[in-house]
Amino acid sequence: MIELRHLTKTYGTKVAVDGITATIRPGVVTGFLGPNGAGKSTTMRMIVGLDRPTSGTALVNGHPYATSRAPLAEVGALLDAKAVDSGRSARNHLLALGATVGIGRRRVDEVLAQVGLSEVAHKAAGSFSLGMGQRLGIAAALLADPAVLLLDEPVNGLDLDGIQWIRDLLTELAGEGRTVLLSSHLMSEMQLVADHLLVIGQGRILADSSIADFIEESPGGNAVVVVSPDAGRLAALLAGDGISLTTREPGRFEVRGTTSAAIGDLAAEHGLRVHELTPVTASLESAYLELTRDSVEYTATVPTHELAA
């Protein structure tokens, strides 16, 4: 388990992380989302003691990670896949890491096989592609069979087979009761693998909820499009607690807070005509963009010559 309590980090006048409090629980994959510059990487670095908090605490299994007696067995982290001696082979890199905690060749060969690098185990890490480097970083994170995993953009550079593999791996690790904190900008992948979401913007927590609730409760959450010649009467009947209606055009509106079946039953009960009932399912991407719209620090602009064209 990871516990963040009023965690803050400043660099001069810049507030990178602004008093965040959250609990990342075992047994689920927690997705860590936020725009560039939101404070995700700084938070992950503070969890593993690479950055010292200005105030507040980050605890791993009830204590600061720096006090762990077996740090590699407690937390496996992939924060920078390039953090490896490029002249060493993949196998020697893992053997060197393992030697610090008494892990030998057998376990090294196991994780090399697990990440699909057995055939290139004796090649220099500097010759690896981006995807192969990511696999080596994941192997290092798994080496001591840790209870907690922190993975920052682990699917960068992976092909489709690799993405499927990491998706299955994360689900398996969480299913074993491990704590998994995953940062990624690939919303489609996050929607497939994450159970819970922690979203930050400008150093503050914007959301801490299950992925299903996050999408459902967003302004662009699940809705039903209704087309009816009796739209006005039907809308009046639907209005009530927990139901919101948005009129797009005469005879057409969107309803949130109920189902297409319930709307159809209500219309039939009152003899109202319905020409269309279309469920619209929101995506994680649309919900995330809506939530973080005002928290984006780096915003690109369209060159004026492109606007003129």
Pairing of strands 75-78, 252-256: unpaired
Report the DSSP beta bridge partners of residue 60: 2, 63
> 229 and 174, same structural domain?
no
Q: Summarize the confidence of residues 24-35 as an average pLDDT.
A: 94
Q: Does 127 fall in a domain?
A: yes
pLDDT at 308 over 60: no
Total tally of structural domains belonging to the chain: 2
Q: What pTM does this model have?
A: 0.78
> 75 and 37, same structural domain?
yes
Q: Does 292 fall in a domain?
A: no
Q: Summarize the confidence of residues 46-52 as an average pLDDT.
A: 94
> 249 and 172, same structural domain?
no
Q: Does 286 fall in a domain?
A: no
> 116 and 15, same structural domain?
yes
Q: Which band of pLDDT confidence, cut at 50, 70 and 90, is reported for residue 111?
A: very high
Q: Does 298 fall in a domain?
A: no
Q: Summarize the confidence of residues 226-250 as an average pLDDT.
A: 88
Q: Which band of pLDDT confidence, cut at 50, 70 and 90, is reported for residue 300?
A: low
Task: Give the per-residue pLDDT at 155.
Answer: 85
Q: Which of 159, 188, 210 is the last residue of a domain?
A: 210
> 99 and 77, same structural domain?
yes
Q: Does 305 fall in a domain?
A: no
Task: Give the per-residue pLDDT at 297.
Answer: 60
Q: Which of 187, 210, 233 is the last residue of a domain?
A: 210
Contacts of 135 (CB under 8 A, 6+ apart): 115, 116, 117, 158, 162
Q: Which band of pLDDT confidence, cut at 50, 70 and 90, is reported for residue 138?
A: very high
Q: Which of 210, 232, 259 is the last residue of a domain?
A: 210
Q: What is the pLDDT of residues 174-221, one digit of tens each?
A: 999 999 999 988 888 888 899 999 999 999 999 999 988 888 777 666
Q: Which band of pLDDT confidence, cut at 50, 70 and 90, is reported for residue 231?
A: very high
> 141 and 14, same structural domain?
yes
pLDDT at 151 over 80: yes
Q: Does 130 fall in a domain?
A: yes
Q: Does 291 fall in a domain?
A: no
Task: Give the per-residue pLDDT at 301.
Answer: 56
Least confident window among 26-30, 105-109, 217-221, 304-308: 304-308
Amino acid letter at 308?
A: A
Identify whether the C-beta of residue 172 lies closer than 8 Å to the C-beta of residue 203: no
> 158 and 30, same structural domain?
yes
Q: Does 300 fall in a domain?
A: no
The whole domain housing 236 covers: 223-280
> 240 and 91, same structural domain?
no
> 253 and 184, same structural domain?
no
> 272 and 194, same structural domain?
no
Q: 27: domain CATH number?
A: 3.40.50.300
> 271 and 187, same structural domain?
no
Q: What is the pLDDT of residues 62-90, one digit of tens each?
A: 999 999 888 888 999 998 877 888 889 99
> 74 and 9, same structural domain?
yes
Q: What mean pLDDT value characterizes the chain?
A: 88
